Amino acid sequence: MTIEEIFARRRFVFLDGGLGTQLQKRGLQPGQKPELAAFLMPDTLEAIHREYAAAGADILYANTFGANEQKLAGTGYTAEQTIAASIACARRAADPYGALVALDIGPLGELLAPTGTLSFEDACARFAAIVQAGVKAGADLIVIETMTDLYELKAAVLAAKENSTLPVLASMSFESRGRTFTGCTVESFGITAAGLGVDAVGINCSLGPAEILPFAKRLCRVVPAGMPVFVKPNAGLPNPDGSYDMDAEEFAREMGEYLSTGISTVGGCCGTTPDYIRALRSAFEGAVPAQKIPLRRSRLCTPVRCVEVEGITVVGERINPTGKKRLQQALREGDSGYACAQAVAQAEAGAQVLDVNAGLPGIDEAATLEMLVRELQAVTDLPLQLDSNDPTALERALRIYNGKPIVNSVNGEEKSLRAILPLCKKYGAAVVGLCLDENGIPKTAEGRFEVARKIVAATDAAGIPREDVYIDCLTLTVSAEQDSAAETLKAMGMCKRELGVRTVLGVSNISFGLPCRGYMNTTFLTLAMQAGLDLAIINPNTPEMMAAVRAFRVLTGQDERCADYVQAYADQQIQTVQTAKTAAAETTVSGAEDPLADAVRRGLKKEARAAAEQALLTREPLDLVNQSLIPALDTVGDGFEKGTLFLPQLLQAATAAQAAFDVIKTAIAQSGQKSVSRGKIVLATVKGDIHDIGKNIVRVVLENYGYEVTDLGRDVDPMRVVQAAKETGAPLVGLSALMTTTVPSMQTTIEELRKAGLPCKVMVGGAVLTPSFAEQIGADFYAKDAKASADYAKQLFESL
Amino acid sequence: MELAYHAADRRTVLRYLGAAGWTPDEATTSLLDEAEALLRRAATPRGIWRVLPLQALDLSGAGSDLARHLQGSEGLVLMAVTLGSGADALIRRLELSDIALGAAVDAIASAAMDGLCDDVEAAARAWAQSQGMWLTGRFSPGYGDCPLTLQHDLCLALDTVRGLGLAVTPQHFLTPRKSVTAILGTADHPVTGTRAGCNHCLLRETCAYRKRGMTCDD
């Protein structure tokens, strides 16, 4: 067996069976680490490998599944020693049979952020150490298996590709619902792994042959025709005591179903033994793997959502600072919260992909784009369109993106193509190509088509499939160049017909400089959809744009039985833009003297927003804050303190105030006035702590009182707090820790702040703290709840 | 094993929200209803339990309360449950868009853990009964003087990463956040175990419940 034969798919390739379950059966004691078998029971380990090779396994997985520094800590063995010994052991068994030895890499045993605390780059580094040890020990190939988190799989694949030239096989474990524990779909796994350039993809563990079968078929449909797909199922489903009931014959019989699916490599996982592999080998002997028939589709994904770009697909355009003062301000302050809230709102309005742009003069675009991608993918499951033409920014964002994104964009210039296409290829991204080059934007459809042709030649050469290329024939402002709209639509048709690519347009640019832009945008969008537009970059919060999209889907048969259309509009009556505003304001018929204050006191979010909108027609923004919002919050806060109101009511009032504040801040940003700020405060949940809710409650309350809060999030390194305190000059830093185990981080953070000589005060809070404990670790103030922190802030800022 | 989602006990939810004994107003009731519906869709409750010999877990540094709990036991049942990473993701999203709803989901998720633990324990008890064995009650790391550091060995012995996607952080937190592990003793004669009281608790000086004159068992 050679590596080349494995990937030739001329015959079935056989993997080995369960190793851990065999070690247990042959004497590994509970409490003993299976990773150490090469030292504890080398003869037994070698015998198991040998029996698998003798049974006909072409590839033996070395006993390195959990061989990482963290799991081996305290055993007296390093990962490198363990990997070397384990691979040598498998090698001794493999050689007489001509079998290959794989470095087997399993999950690290810690969850990556945002669910856990392990950073993506730390995960990459841990995997890199394993890969380097495996290469040094002479592994023939690398197997990444039993993964349940797509992000961890990506870290392992990057580490394998960046630290070796060995072939990489990658497999994940799915539950019976067709998702991993973290919700990753079969399709998201297939397209992401294939995009990252692994040599084969598969499914292992967790389920038996019958349960995995439908998922294996789905996997075959989404990966390229030439890519081998493998399965390594368990011997059925386990009993509570960890044993398995399915015998070798039954296993081989159930595996027979795979002969015609297109998979080309088979083996077994937990509960299977050399007998199972022998039975498998005889059942598959002489058979030739069936041809896989992949469905070539344009796909983008996050772990939990795979978007097939079939028919018009909406890309939300709101996370782009150009012309958006509030977002500009937020990005300058390093605050991702506003962008994240925009993401959630666009998703609710019907966006299927989100454009993310961090291009703003005076900020570090690369760092900001990376930060936005990290924070956005923690709160939205929509795929992202990474919008930049800076290769450094794109690479940093592509690296940490979890899934398959789209890069926006390259253009016809050599420089752009050469710098960005290799990145798209390495990280498996789709790409937008703009029909312009060093000579500018061609006037005619033919001219733009020529640029598109040049771009497609380059994507072909880079190995990016046509279904992953989206050509932007460019929307020009119709008030300046009236003929160009027709040229854009014509060029789109040519690209789709003759190049077999997808198309994309930023729609809103058409109406620049004209009144009632919505009319123009909607009409142009409709024409473009009719001309075959695939990705429409629009503001999904504009009702008439989404209405045009939904109506188009009905009229072209994409929305079967009008189901989505009816669902979206069953309860609505058509309103013109002007009357909609009046109607929103009318919902505030509370009859109260100050409807805004009343809505906040009663914790009514919608009503508070509407009341603020109406009040802004006659009152100054600052007056709203000082005369309505803050007095209402004070009333609620007093009630809470006295025990007549409870936390849920305080929080609902805070949420209502936040909704009103949002309207007020937008009005202030639009008017160009200085923002409402009673002073700056830095907040963080300390290093190692991921319990964030207390700090988030404090943030909302402080923001409602008009403080400018820089929220550093959770699991925050002490030095980042120091840096933020320095940069903002904030006179107050608030730290939160929930557990006794993270209070030391809080103390370290306070010490670092003092060491840096910063004059700021530090307030602390969290379940395990007390006033004396707070004093002991050097804090200035212990805040027992959000109300107390607001009171302290007020007192402090008034004394400055 | 996949577990059914149980509606959380509302009194417990209100207690977690710092409003023990309060009869919620209409707005809060509808807030909790909405939160429960969202969590039900986002959660993927899973459980796992294993029967293991006593030596499967090194209890030398695990304190005297667990030792007392396991007195007379001849073996162990280890168990773990989780609401899954979808619940964490939901809470993260809501903390941004609606903090009241986020806090409600957080409290409901914590309260829902009890029912999940009961289900897994019931499965273990049914097995024990069929074997003519008895089980003690559940004891989790963090009770009494039992340190959270035990989570690492416990999760390794249960293989929770592979079994239900549950892992421990270097600071000994379980992730996904809404997860619980527990230890039960097995014996061929009736055993009940002893839950640790406040006097032995590591959090005695700092406990948020004790500050309010309550205990975490109230």
Please give the pLDDT value at position B144. Answer: 86
SS3 B172: coil
The residue among A284, A315, A340 that closes a domain is A284
Say whether both A347 and A488 belong to one domain: yes
Contact of A719 with A754, CB cutoff 8 Å: no
The reply to whether residue A773 touches residue B165, judged by beta carbons under 8 angstroms, is no
pLDDT at residue B217, rounded to an integer: 61
Q: Are residues A163 and A22 in the same domain?
A: yes
Q: What is the rounded (10 degree) CA torsion for A753, A756, A759, A760? A: -20
Q: For the segment A357-383, what is each residue's pLDDT rounded down to a tens digit? A: 999 999 999 999 999 999 999 999 999
**Which residues in chain B touch residue A176, judged by CB atoms under 8 angstroms apart?**
2
Query: Read out DSSP for A141-181?
Result: EEEEEEE--HHHHHHHHHHHHHH--S-EEEEE---TTSB-T
* Closest of A222, A270, A280 to residue A248, by C-alpha: A280
pLDDT in tens, A109-150: 999 999 999 999 999 999 999 999 999 999 999 999 999 999
Nearest CB to A688: which of B2, B161, B170?
A: B170
Domain-located, residue A675: no
Residue A441 has what pLDDT? 96
Interchain proximity B85–A688, CB inside 8 Å: no
Verify that A561 and A660 share a domain, yes or no: no
* Same structural domain, A101 and A221: yes
Point out the least confidently predicted range of A568-582, A594-608, B54-68: A568-582
CA distance A488 to A472: 9
- The whole-chain average pLDDT of chain B stands at 90
Rounded to whole angstroms, how far apart are CA atoms A305 and A599?
37
Give the mutation candidate from B169, B186, B201, B202 for the A interface (greatest A CB count, under 10 A): B169
Question: CB neighbours of A695 closer than 8 A, spacing ≥ 6?
Answer: A683, A684, A685, A711, A714, A734, A736, A765
Residue A770, judged by CB atoms within 10 A of its CB (0-12, 13-18, 19+), counts as: middle
CA A735 to chain centre: 27
**Are residues A27 and A119 located together in one domain of the fold?**
yes
Q: Domain with A653 in it: what CATH number?
A: 1.10.1240.10
CATH label of the domain that carries residue A87: 3.20.20.330
Strand partners, B80: B48, B181
Whether residue A684 sits in one domain with residue A665: no
What domain range includes position A651?
Answer: 582-669
> For residue A577, is pLDDT > 70?
no
Residue A64 dihedral angles phi and psi, to the nearest 5°: -120, 15
Task: Note whether A552 and A611 are same-domain residues.
Answer: no
Same-domain pairing of A603 and A688: no
Percent with pLDDT over 70 in chain A: 97
Q: Is residue A501 part of a domain?
A: yes
Q: Per residue in A55-98, pLDDT tens?
A: 999 999 999 999 999 999 999 999 999 999 999 999 999 999 99
Q: Is A390 helix (H, G, I), strand (E, B) or coil?
A: coil
User: Is there a contact between A196 and A428 (Cβ–Cβ < 8 Å)?
Assistant: yes
Is A291 domain-assigned? no
CB-based burial label for A771 (10 Å; 0-12, 13-18, 19+): exposed
Whether A729 maps to a domain, the answer reads yes
Same domain, A261 and A347: no
Q: Tell me the CATH number for domain B10-211.
A: 3.40.109.40
Are A98 and A108 spatial neighbours (Cβ–Cβ below 8 Å)? no
| pLDDT single digits (tens) A476-494 | 999 998 999 999 999 999 9
Q: A573 falls in which pLDDT band (50, 70, 90)?
A: confident
Contacts of B24 in chain A (CB under 8 A): 646, 648
- From A565, A594, A610, give the residue that closes a domain: A565
Measured distance CA(A159)–CA(A731) in Å, rounded: 43
Residues present in chain B in total = 218
A31, pLDDT greater than 50: yes
Separation between Cα atoms, residue A243 and residue A272, nearest integer Å: 11
Given this model, what pLDDT does residue A423 score? 98
Residue A557 contacts B, CB cutoff 8 Å: no
Q: Is the pLDDT of residue B196 over 70?
A: no
Residue B97, pLDDT > 70, answer yes
Please say whether the beta carbons of A690 and A117 come within 8 A: yes
Name the pLDDT band for A591 (thresholds 50, 70, 90).
Answer: low
Taking the model in full, what pTM does it have? 0.92
Asked if A344 and A401 sit in the same domain, the reply is yes
Residue A15 lies in a domain: yes
Domain extents in chain B: 10-211
Q: Are residues A232 and A86 in the same domain?
A: yes
Name the more confident of B133 and A589. B133
Contacts of A737 in chain B (CB under 8 A): none
Residues A249 and A330 in one domain: no
Please count the structural domains in chain A.
4
CATH number at residue A378: 3.20.20.20
Say yes or no: A73 contacts chain B, CB-CB below 8 A.
Answer: no
